[in-house]
Structure 1
């Protein structure tokens, strides 16, 4: 009787372990194979992810501001206005997504440490335009405004790509890294387009 009871208890214990194992595998994937759609992957983040989001929001906002400024001008090459429309359409949704992530992570939108939170940044290499740069674009008109927009946006994109590459190297959140990868690809392509347009102006 004692031996039979032992076998029954052992069998029940094994079944319980298998059940728990199945549940764990279904809801808590490891960091190496986690899906970006799972709650665990979405909630997992590192300081670099926070810094990336905090710094990319104003970076994108400035790109949108520059693009809206050029779209309000007359006499600008249609290839440039098409590009400005494309940049605005791509970056406005990303701004909202970045804000949503910061809210989910319980962090402020405003960064206190700047890009110093990501190695290699904080040295002015983020591509942000100065007040004087923005004023120069605002004061330019027609073809001159279009050309200046392209020159500034190339530098701006280069800074965004550097920030995104640092996120890919140092970040942990899979969703944020996916956005960073998209930024590298899309903005590298846009830089090529802008250089091509500049060569024909």
Structure 2
């Protein structure tokens, strides 16, 4: 994550655009009778396989496809902390929330399966807000003690902040009620967890 390089406000806008990129192009919901997702945006969404339920629109799909890799990386981040941190508060935070992230990941994958769209990492290799990238993990693995704590806290805050922002976007522009409810629950949970990481 390189928020300091580009500017946090620009990255927030980019993240929200990733989620809502296809809403203007195709506001209709997916169904077996409708056309596949629009491919006119910056990156094409995969076409649904089989007969997708009609309640999903492109924002729902884009949000799920963004949150799955973000959450996978968050699990890795939280798993790394107990063996590296010297801060008991951060150790407790990581140990308490890693199982929550795994549960979140299962829920996101269940929703994507229900949509009929196969799971694929649309953001492989992208350095986007909230995503803990390989360079971040390399720095975390090299660091110990207070240096690790600073990096871990920065990456965890960025993940939680961006997940809250895109969850709000999903609630505004999504169509599937279960997916929007899941986003609302994540917004509330991640917002509360973010306050625990404040200095």
Scaled by the length of structure 2, the TM-score of the pair is 0.66
Query: What TM-score, normalized to structure 1?
Result: 0.66
1:99 corresponds to which residue? 109
Give the alignment partner of residue 169 of structure 2, picking from 166, 171, 174: 166
Larger radius of gyration: 1
Q: Following the alignment from structure 2 to structure 1, what is the Cα–Cα distance between the partners of residues 170 and 76?
A: 24
Give the alignment of 1:1-201 within 5 angstroms: 44-73=55-84, 76-110=86-120, 112=122, 126-196=129-199
- CA shift, 1:106, in A, is 1.2
* Preserved contact between residue 126 and residue 163 of structure 1 (Cα < 8 Å): no
Q: Distance in 2 between matches of 1:82 and 1:58?
A: 24
Q: 1:43 to 1:96 in 2, by over 3 A?
A: farther
Gaps of 5+ in 1: 1-41, 115-122, 197-201
Following TM superposition, by how much is the alpha carbon of 1:87 offset from its aligned partner in structure 2, in angstroms? 2.3
Quote the offset at 1:108 in angstroms: 1.4
SS at match of 2:198: helix
Of Structure 1 and Structure 2, which has the larger fraction of its residues in helix?
1
8 Å CA contact 2:70, 2:132 repeated in 1 = no
CA RMSD, Structure 1 to Structure 2 (Å) = 2.0
Partner Cα distance (2:176, 2:96) in 1:
26
Structure 2 unmatched ranges of 5 or more: 1-52
